[in-house]
Amino acid sequence: MYVKVCGLKTVDAVHAAVDAGADAIGVVMNENSPRAASADVAKTVVDAARQAGGDRLDIVLVVNDKPAAEAASLAADLGFTVLQLHGRRYAAEDFAAASKVFGTLWRATSLAHDPPLDVGAYGERRLLLDAPKPGSGERWDLSGLADLGLSGEWLLAGGLNPDNVADAIAQARPWGVDVSSGVESAPGVKDLDAIARFIAAAKEA
Ligand SMILES: O=C(O)c1ccccc1N[C@@H]1O[C@H](COP(=O)(O)O)[C@@H](O)[C@H]1O
């Protein structure tokens, strides 16, 4: 099981995730998020992630409030390896614009937005299915997901935590999982022990 831990802002959190076996870490650069990282913080996290995780770790910039081409330039300038364009504001033409500037794109969406469900529909490398409110920590209805016939490299997100991730995997059968609020002690503050527990639970599922 591929595991991404999102919303990291500190070097300690990067080390906790990498040491526990995370496959990807995410940094949110979204003004209204409790996890919003400045450019300086993002650069520090990216450098620590590169050093700790080497080439095997995906280092993901997450945005949902910036024009796609601007987000792509930011991802390139700061040294990210993946750009996650999150939410319904990003249409196929936004992915086309971003791909001129930056190589690896992920599309994050919600079933509530009735998106195309085939991975790569907008030229993205991976698809992430999230709750309607990104980064809210709210659970959403996973029943029926396994019947949608999703295939390929898609990640489940939204309201996951160390205690529910194994059940969520059994129910939805994703290729990977993604967590943010569920490994925090307060909004924007990562709980290093919860990060390790989440990764262990997902990998054992
Ligand atoms: O975390 C945020 O604040 C955020 C802001 C804008 C776009 C996406 C954001 N987070 C993404 O939401 C998923 C699920 O979060 P949670 O586990 O339910 O809190 C997270 O993996 C991020 O990719």
Single out the residue of 146, 97, 94 nearest to residue 117, CA to CA.
Answer: 146
**80 C-alpha to center of ligand 1: Å?**
17
pLDDT value of residue 180: 97
pTM over 0.90: yes
pLDDT value of residue 144: 86
2, 84, 164, 180, best to mutate for ligand 1 pocket (most atoms within 8 Å of CB): 180
Domains and CATH numbers, the chain: 2-204 (3.20.20.70)
Q: Is the pLDDT of residue 85 over 90?
A: yes
Q: Is the CB of 176 under 6 A from ligand 1?
A: no
Residue 3 and residue 177: Cα distance in Å, rounded?
5
Q: Both tokens of residue 79? A: 């040294």
Q: What is the pLDDT of residues 11-51, one digit of tens each?
A: 999 999 999 999 999 999 988 899 999 999 999 999 999 99
pLDDT value of residue 188: 95
